[in-house]
Amino acid sequence: MGKDKNLTEALLSTAENSDPTTHLPFSPANDVPPITTIGGFVKEFNVETKKLWYLAGPAIFTSVNQYSLGAVTQVFAGHVSTIALAAVSVENSVIAGFSFGIMLGMGSALETLCGQAFGAGKLSMLGVYLQRSWVILNVTALILTLLYIFAAPILASIGQTPAISSAAGLFSIYMIPQIFAYAVNFPTAKFLQSQSKIMVMAAISAAALALHVPITWFVMEKLKWGMAGLAVVLNASWWFIDVAQLVYIFSGTCGEAWSGLSWEAFHNLWGFVRLSLASAVMLCLEVWYFMAIILFAGYLKNAEVSVAALSICMNILGWTAMVAIGMNTAVSVRVSNELGANHPRTAKFSLVVAVITSTLIGVIVSTVLLIFRNQYPSLFVGDEEVIILVKELTPILAVSIVINNVQPVLSGVAVGAGWQAVVAYVNIACYYLFGIPFGLLLGYKLDFGVKGIWCGMLTGTVVQTIVLTWMICKTNWAKEAAMADDRIREWGGEVSEIEQLSN
C-alpha cells in the first residue's frame, strides 16, 4: 500500500504530500517549469518517461494477457474440428469484436471523467462515475444480447456459409455472459487506471491467463465438453477478472475514491450517456475502419491469396499495436490527471514524450521487418504466392506500424482532454469520406489490388494523424486545464452535469 501510494503521488507530481487526497489540486507550483535548455529537456524527458512506462508497461502486459484468452480458446477450438475453429473465430472477430468496440468505447468516457477528477483531488466522485458507467454499460449489454441471439441469421446475411453461421450462432449464445463481463470490466479498468493502479490489473490478468490455459485443457481433453466447454471457461475467465478487480476495490485500497454504492449513480445519466456515446463512436470508427480492409480484400480477383497475406500483416500490426494501446492508456491517464491538477505544461510535455517514444519504437520494429522481409513470411505460411505478396506488402506494413504507434497516443490525448465528440467527426471525415473511397479507387478502379486498398486507407490514417496533430498544436493547454476545473464542478453537481462537454 505504501509503495503504491508513493508511486501515485509521484505520477501526480505532488511528492511533498504523503496523502494524494490532500494535495493542492489547482496549484501550478508542481507544473513542469519552462524548458529552455537541452539539459533541462533531457532531465524532464527522463522523469516523464519513467511515469509513462510505469503506466504503459503493465497496461501492455494486461492487454496481451486479455487478448491471449481469446487466442488460447481459438487454439483449442482447432482441436475440436475445422467448423469449431471457424465458428469461434467468426464469433470472436465479428460478434464479440463488434460488441467489444462499442463497450470499450463507452467505458472510455471514464478516462476523461475519472482522470481529471482524480488529478484535481475530487476523489469522492470517482466511485459515483464508476457506478454510472456500470448502469449505462449493462443496459447497453442487454441491448447487444439481441446481436448474440440472432447471430446465425446475421452472419448468414453477410455471406458466411450455413454451417459456419449455425455453429457461430450457437457459440454466440453460449458467450452472452461475456458481454455482461465487459460491462463490468471496462468501467472498472478505467476507474483503476485513472488512479494509476495498473500493477494490480496486470497481476489479475496474468492470474486469469494462468488459470485459463490448464482449465481449458482439462475441460476439452478430459471432460470432452466441446464448444460449450470453451464458452464456459472463457466466460469464467472474464468474470474471474471482474470479481478480482471488484474485491480489490471493495477492500478499501482505493480510499476516498470508493465509498460504497450510491443513488447518485442514477443522477444526470443522460449527459453521461452522451459522452459515453461520443467515446464509443470515436473508438468504433477506428476499429471498424481497419476491419474493413480485410472485408474489401475478400472481393478482389485473387481473394484467397490477398486475404491470407493481408491477415498475416494485420496479425503483426495487431501485436505491435499492444505497445501503442499501452501508451494510449498511459498518456490518457497522464493528460487527464495533469489537466485536472492544473498542470498544463506537464500535460503537454507528457504528450511530447509519448509521441517521441512511440515513434522510436515503431521505427525500430519497422526496420527489423524490412531487414528480414525475405525471411519472416515463411514463419506464418508455406504458400509461395502468399509469401511473395507479404514481402511486397512489408513496406506498407512498416509505414503502418509507425503511423499506428503515433495515432493511438494522439487519440489518448483526445480522450484525456475530453475531445471525443470532435475526434469522432474527424474520424468520419478522414476514414470514411476520404480513406475508404481512396482505397477502393486505387484497389479496384486503378487495379492496384490489395496494395492499393491498404495504401488508400493508410492515407486516411495519415490525414487523421495530421489533423489530430494540428488540433493538439493549436491547443491552449492552460485553457484546457481551466476547462477541466469547470467540468469537475459540473460533474460534482453544481451545474447540469457534463452538459457542456457532451454538446
Residue 181 has a pLDDT of 96
What residue has cell string 472498472?
188
Phi/psi region, residue 13 (left: phi>0; alpha: psi -120 to 50; beta: rest), is left
Handedness of CA 216, 218, 221, 223 (dihedral sign): negative
User: For residues 427 and 441, what is the distance between their CA atoms, to the nearest angstrom?
Assistant: 19
From 246, 235, 253, 250, select the one nearest 204 (Cα to Cα).
Answer: 246
What residue has cell string 493528460?
335
Q: Which three cell numbers stand for residue 12?
A: 501526480
Residue 270, judged by CB atoms within 10 A of its CB (0-12, 13-18, 19+), counts as exposed
Query: Which DSSP string corresponds to 69-82?
Result: HHHHHHHHHTTT-H
From 61, 144, 60, select the one nearest 103 (Cα to Cα).
Answer: 144
Q: How many CA atoms lie within 13 A of 263 on its CB side?
A: 0
End-to-end CA distance of the chain: 40
User: For residues 389 and 310, what is the distance between their CA atoms, to the nearest angstrom?
Assistant: 9
Q: Which three cell numbers stand for residue 361?
A: 519504437
From 232, 257, 394, select the one nearest 312 (Cα to Cα).
Answer: 394
DSSP character at residue 263: G
Phi/psi region, residue 33 (left: phi>0; alpha: psi -120 to 50; beta: rest), is beta
User: For residues 33 and 370, what is the distance between their CA atoms, to the nearest angstrom?
Assistant: 41
What residue has cell string 441471439?
149
Other C-beta atoms lying within 10 Å of the C-beta of residue 79 = 11
Tens digit of each residue's pLDDT, the chain (503 residues): 444 444 444 444 433 333 333 343 445 556 777 777 888 888 888 888 888 888 888 988 998 898 889 888 888 887 888 788 778 878 887 888 888 888 887 877 777 777 777 777 778 788 888 998 899 899 999 999 999 999 999 988 877 788 888 998 999 999 999 999 999 999 999 899 888 888 999 999 999 999 999 999 999 999 989 999 999 999 999 999 999 999 999 998 888 888 878 777 777 777 777 777 777 777 777 777 877 777 687 777 777 788 778 877 877 887 787 787 788 778 777 877 787 777 888 888 888 888 888 899 899 999 999 999 988 888 776 778 888 988 999 999 999 999 988 887 787 777 666 677 788 888 889 989 999 999 999 988 898 888 999 999 899 999 988 998 888 888 776 776 666 666 555 544 443 344 444 44
DSSP character at residue 250: I
Residue 496 has a pLDDT of 39
User: For residues 430 and 465, what is the distance between their CA atoms, to the nearest angstrom?
Assistant: 9
Which residues are CB-contacts of 109 (< 8 A; sequence separation ≥ 6)? 133, 272, 275, 276, 278, 279, 420
Would you state the torsion angle of the CA atoms of residues 52, 56, 58, 59, taken in this order, to the nearest 10 degrees? 140
User: For residues 455 and 403, what is the distance between their CA atoms, to the nearest angstrom?
Assistant: 12
From 97, 66, 175, 182, select the one nearest 133 (Cα to Cα).
Answer: 182
User: For residues 438 and 220, what is the distance between their CA atoms, to the nearest angstrom?
Assistant: 46
